[in-house]
Amino acid sequence: MVGISHRLADLARLERAAVKAGAREALQHDALRLGCAEALVLSTCSRTELYVVLEDTADVSEPCTRQVAEHLLRLLLGPCSAADLERIASVRAGDDVVFHLCRVAAGLDSRVVGEVEIQAQLRSAARAATATSCEPHRLRGLVAAALSGAQSVPHQHDSSDRRGLLARLAVARGVAGVPWGRQVDAIVVGAGTMGRQVMEFLPVDGCRSALLSRTSVTGPSGGPTVYGLEELPARLESADVVFVATSAGRRLLNADLVATAMSQRADRGLVIVDLSVPRNVDPDVACVPGVTLLDLDDLADRRERTSALDGRHLAAVEAAAQSAAERYLAGLRSREAGPLISALRERIEELCLAQLRRTAAGQPASDEHLVRMASAVAGAVAHPPTMLMREAAAQGDTELLDQVARAFRLPAGGSVDTLLPR
């Protein structure tokens, strides 16, 4: 895995690295052209990460892995100095990727710890993942395992409570600077999940709100009416607080537009909260007199954990993520022992057949009958060591696997390096 997250990168870098759904496939195919067998892009407001699987025949030595990682990072982040990559980028390999993705799926690496929006985003990324063959996707299997672990812990609160914590935080910070001696006008730009959650958490009493989107639609029964984005300039003249949360990928509010609106407001201030990555509000808006501009870096301090979970539930979620990673790795190692187990079965069958042929020498028994007998006996004899080998592989006990292989002379010469799990 290569990428950046809110833990090391500021919002400016995150928005430059953000990958929209329409560009995700092209980036994944670029990774395949570099020699990767599979690729998956996860791009959210907290991170942009590229997960890849190297070809089985690829050189996975440290220098090669580092070189591939540098190529992938530049695919993801564009031109960057080595010092910049060292400062803001993360590179993970092997088991570390599994543990990291399980934590990501559980919301433990999000701006708001314990949020569950990441699960839908991860499912979408898995559906869009690409591979060079028609074999089952290993990355999709890993995502499924990570999501299973994330969903194994009962929610501490109703799911909407956790999912909407960032929206509640945005509302709390946004309305804090608004004078409440009169009715307050709030505008929410964006009719997606985040925009509607902000609407839900706006105060009911003393607050008049409007939901704007690129297309005006009639809301579902009981839902808010959505107005067209063309109403935004006029509504800015009377608004007290504006929340912007769209996937537009461009600046919807710039300094000129906001300055024009502020000129019609006398001395009334305006609070603008930008919840988008890439940002929908030009940072220069902060320089307009009377305007307070907040973005995601202001809402959730990268140095502190804003959590939707109390200590007991946080520990349970962390334990579930750890357990999911360990189960996945154990299953992977067990499957990778398959070639050694097949070789063991073949060796036992060979020994049984040779003994049966010697015993039946001169007796009226066809060779086909002897082969069937040898196969049946080999199956029964091989079952206990097979179970033992699967357990050893799951636990990473290559010493025991090596002992079994040497006892049965697998392969000839006693070397099992080509059969043992990597």
Q: What amino acid positions are annotated as catalytic residues?
A: 45
Distance of CA 310 to the CA centre of its chain: 23
Distance of CA 74 to the CA centre of its chain: 20
Beta-carbon neighbour count of residue 310 at 10 Å?
Answer: 11
Burial 239-276 (b: 16+ CB within 10 A, else e): bbbbbbbbebeebbbebebbbebbeeeeeeebbbbbbb
Distance of CA 416 to the CA centre of its chain: 36
Local structure of residue 217 (DSSP, 8 states): B
Residues 273, 294 contacting (CB under 8 angstroms): yes
DSSP for 224-266 reads PPEEEGGGHHHHHTT-SEEEE-----S-SB-HHHHHHHHTTST
DSSP for 267-332 reads T--EEEEE--SS-SB-GGGGGSTTEEEE-HHHHS-TTS-EESS-HHHHHHHHHHHHHHHHHHHHHH
Phi-psi sector, 115: left (phi>0), alpha (psi -120 to 50), beta:
beta
Beta-carbon neighbour count of residue 333 at 10 Å?
Answer: 21
Distance of CA 142 to the CA centre of its chain: 10
Sign of CA dihedral 410, 411, 416, 419: negative
Cα radius of gyration (the chain): 29
Residues 281, 292 contacting (CB under 8 angstroms): no
CA pair distance 207, 141, nearest whole angstrom? 47
Quick one: which H or E segment has residue 45?
A: none
Instruction: Return the ∠ at Cα 311 (arms to 306 and 314), rounded to 5°.
Output: 75
The counts of H helices and E strands in the chain are 17, 13
